[in-house]
Copies of this chain bind each other. A is one copy, B any other.
Amino acid sequence: MNYPTTLKNLIECYKKLPGVGEKSAERMALATLDLDQEILDKLSDSVKNLKTSIKRCKICNNYCEDEICTICSDKSRNKSTICVVEEPKNIMLFERMGSYNGVYHVLDGLISPLEGINPEQINFKSLIDRIDEEDIKEVIFALKPSIEGETTTLYIKKYLEKKDVKVSKIAHGVPMGADIDYIDTLTLELALENRNEV
């Protein structure tokens, strides 16, 4: 016995999502069947129009519904500080924190010679253009603490050396609440290197 085609299709689709295996997909599909038609319509419409309704901000490449995202069009934000992130979702993390008032720049990838991702394939030229055209005082890198993240930071930093702009990188160290026994040595090394006077 197999599930009816519609249910089978739904299970197949759910399985494409991250962290969703065969069993979870089945459970989710069966639960979808129990939802109100109103929610099913909302889900169906959102999915159908997802790609067409979500645009990228012409300035920072963040997700947006219009030409310019809500952050870039917000007059109260400090436009002279740019935080460089890999993906639009990283912006959400900073915004939840609430204390950052600058703007962002989404690279949409990291330079990775191993995977054949060159600087031209990430959204890096537009960052340089922004720095050339606008009055940018500081560029803060908030990329993944990986080889690709470091490579990208260093590559862009080299480009910015000739320009009158402060370049910084978010601190790496022991996360709050973590047990120091379980911290990897590289993080500990960086934490020691970046120690602060108390």
Contact = CB atoms under 8 A, between A and B. Distances in A.
Contacts of A47: 10, 32, 40, 43-44, 47
Contacts of A17: 28, 31-32
A21 to B, nearest CB: 11
Interface string A1-26: 11111110110111011111000101
Please give me the 7 A-B residue pairs with the lowest Cβ-Cβ distance, nearest first: A13-B43, A44-B48, A10-B46, A6-B53, A44-B47, A9-B46, A1-B95
Q: How many copies does the complex hold?
A: 2
Contacts of A92: 1, 3, 26
Interface residues of A, number: 54
A54 interface: yes
Q: Is the interface of A mostly helix, strand, loop or mixed?
A: helix
A63 interface: yes
Interface string A32-44: 1101010111111
A107 to B, nearest CB: 16
